[in-house]
Amino acid sequence: MASEFELINFLFEPLSRGLSPNEIGIGDDGAVLNVPENHQLVVVTDTLVSGVHFPENTAAYDVAWKAVAVNLSDLAAMGAQPGFYSLALTIPENNQVWLNGFAKGLEDIGSFYQIPLVGGDTTNGPLTITVTMQGWVSTGKAIRRSGAKEGDLVCVTNYIGNGALGLMVALNTLPESVKGLISEADSQYLLDALNLPQPQLDLSSSLKEFANSAIDISDGLLADLGHILEESNKLIAPKDGKVLGAQINLEFIPLSNAARIYIENTGHWPAILAGGDDYQLCFTIAPDKLNLAQEMSGKLGVKITAIGKVVSLDRVNESSSTSNKPSLMDITLLSHGKKIDVGEAKGYMHF
């Protein structure tokens, strides 16, 4: 088997392209990188485990793309611009075909988003990919989860639920009633949403001009909106006797053609709202900023939909409302004004 050094040098070293002459990429004990003035560093990390975060038969190219994309998505949610990333790759065997496909995936997403690989570690073990990415945000301008305000509109980008439905396509678990109705092109569209997510970086640079809070939807819309409420509630003094919750209108949830067919035939909203793997942004904005957001939406070609609003609720139970658990109980789902039971629509929990 080739040594760690050979793997890294020959396959990954070309992915360091784009550094300045006084910067150091792969090939030393560490990478050395320049820092833009008047910016803060943003650091994000995400691990993908084979069989947990992607089906074991996922193409190496797609695994690489997704490992980088999910981190770009985290940067997008902070309003940060990408800098560079390092890769910790644990592989069960030195499979050159797999490694070539993986390196090609890294190369393509790296070129597309202009983000060089600056280092990493390759180890032997069950397939696990950890990407740690650094980005930059103007000092003090990062968008927090904790900034949601009563009366804010809850918005999402593009479509919700495609990743979860893509997983059903990949695992062949789509209900029979739906399978026949979805075209081959739609199936591929869902698979691409799962395997080749497109982080919302175009929007993220202007997001700080109108959003009060933001998160990327990786664990499912309800869980991730829950994180926004949870973090925002930490800034509200308990003596106020209030907590933030949200009302979401199901009929406003933006659905792709395939997702609409799925809902019309199954009525099973949890797959859409809690399936995760969307890598869209969920953010809250003051209502008077909606025009600005829609202007950006048109300019960037990113669909933005207001799906509900942040509301103020009575703090009924001191111990539950101050817990760190996602406050799913504080999200009300409405269908044409009528309250719907959240049921099993909880967010994806890694454990």
Q: Residue 78 interacts with a copy of itself (CB under 8 A)? A: yes
How many angstroms separate the CA atoms of 95 and 84, rounded? 26
Kindly indicate which of the ranges 32-40, 57-65, 190-198, 247-255 contains the residues binding a copy of itself, using the contact rule CB under 8 A.
32-40
How many angstroms separate the CA atoms of 165 and 181, rounded? 14
CA angle 309, 315, 318 (to 5 degrees): 135
Q: Which is nearer to a copy of itself, 60 or 207 (CB)?
A: 207
Q: Which is nearer to a copy of itself, 174 or 246 (CB)?
A: 246
How many angstroms separate the CA atoms of 279 and 257, rounded? 18
Q: Residue 150 interacts with a copy of itself (CB under 8 A)? A: no
Tell me the backbone φ, ψ of residue 299, rounded to 5 degrees: -65, -40
Q: Which is nearer to a copy of itself, 24 or 340 (CB)?
A: 24
145 known member of a binding site: yes
Kindly indicate which of the ranges 79-87, 162-170, 240-248, 300-308 contains the residues binding a copy of itself, using the contact rule CB under 8 A.
79-87
DSSP 127-146: -EEEEEEEEEEETT-PPPGG
Q: Residue 32 interacts with a copy of itself (CB under 8 A)? A: yes
Instruction: Tell me how crowded residue 173 is: count the other CB atoms within 10 A of its CB.
Output: 8
Q: Residue 17 interacts with a copy of itself (CB under 8 A)? A: no
53 known member of a binding site: yes
285 with 294: CB under 8 angstroms? no
* Nearest C-alpha neighbor of 63 from the set 107, 92, 101, 119: 101
Q: Residue 97 interacts with a copy of itself (CB under 8 A)? A: no
Q: Residue 278 interacts with a copy of itself (CB under 8 A)? A: no
Write down the least CB distance from residue 155 to a copy of itself, Å.
16
Which residues, including other chains, have CB under 8 Å from residue 242's CB and lie 6 or more apart?
236, 312, 313, 314, 315
Write down the least CB distance from residue 189 to a copy of itself, Å.
26
Q: Mapped to the 3 state alphabet, what secondary structure does 155-167 carry?
A: EEECCCCHHHHHH
348 known member of a binding site: yes
Write down the least CB distance from residue 246 to a copy of itself, Å.
18
Write down the least CB distance from residue 29 to a copy of itself, Å.
4
Question: Whose structure tokens read 């890598």?
Answer: 279
259 with 165: CB under 8 angstroms? yes
How many angstroms separate the CA atoms of 273 and 308, rounded? 14
Position 56, amino acid: E
Kindly indicate which of the ranges 3-11, 178-186, 314-322, 330-338 contains the residues binding a copy of itself, using the contact rule CB under 8 A.
3-11
Q: Residue 181 interacts with a copy of itself (CB under 8 A)? A: no
Position 4, amino acid: E
Tell me the backbone φ, ψ of residue 30, rounded to 5 degrees: -155, 165
301-330 positions binding a copy of itself, by CB under 8 A = 324-326
135 with 81: CB under 8 angstroms? yes
Write down the least CB distance from residue 119 to a copy of itself, Å.
6
* Nearest C-alpha neighbor of 154 from the set 315, 339, 330: 330
Q: Which is nearer to a copy of itself, 96 or 177 (CB)?
A: 96
121 known member of a binding site: yes
128 with 49: CB under 8 angstroms? yes
Q: Residue 130 interacts with a copy of itself (CB under 8 A)? A: yes
99-118 positions binding a copy of itself, by CB under 8 A = 118
Among 11, 42, 167, 304, binds a copy of itself (CB under 8 A): 42
Q: Residue 59 interacts with a copy of itself (CB under 8 A)? A: no
Q: Which is nearer to a copy of itself, 111 or 123 (CB)?
A: 123
161 known member of a binding site: no
Among 95, 96, 126, 318, binds a copy of itself (CB under 8 A): 126
Binding site for substrate: what residues are annotated? 53, 277, 348
Binding site: what residues are annotated? 29, 45-46, 53, 74, 120-121, 145, 216, 218-219, 277, 348
